[in-house]
Amino acid sequence: MYTKEEILKRALLKAFPEKELQNQKDLDKYIKMQIKRDDGLALIFYHPFAIAFFGEKNINIWAIDKKEFEENYDEDEMEYCDNCSSRMIMPAWKLHLQRMVLEREPLKYLETFL
């Protein structure tokens, strides 16, 4: 179990491993500022971060849970797979953002991927 600061730091380093995230001191300051401002929520719900962290690979929604899909997802946002016509797919980052927004503690959801 990590602190909020540790979760954000590990998530940033996972999402952007190829980039130098300045120096350690600046990164720690940035994370503390994000936590103080809004518990880091603006950062973790920022689409470019989510795309980098979760990826853009399409996920077969039905393989996750049909009941959950029907209760929580808007069919207008889904695409039909050209190869299987009856299955719905969406990019991983969108799915995880939708799941994270439903969580009481979104950072804890993010932590499960670290």
The per-residue pLDDT for 3 is 94
Q: Could you tell me where the beta strands, DSSP code E, fall in the chain? A: 58-60, 79-80, 88-91
Burial class (CB in 10 A: 0-12, 13-18, 19+), 8: buried
What's the whole-model pTM score?
A: 0.74
Residue 16: pLDDT over 70? yes
Q: What are phi and psi of 42, to 5 degrees?
A: -60, -40
Q: Which comes out higher in pLDDT, residue 69 or 37?
A: 37
- Do residues 64 and 9 lie in contact, with contact meaning Cβ atoms separated by under 8 Å? no
- Count H helices and E strands in the chain, helices first: 7, 3
The residue-averaged pLDDT of 1-20 equals 87
Residue 79: pLDDT over 90? no
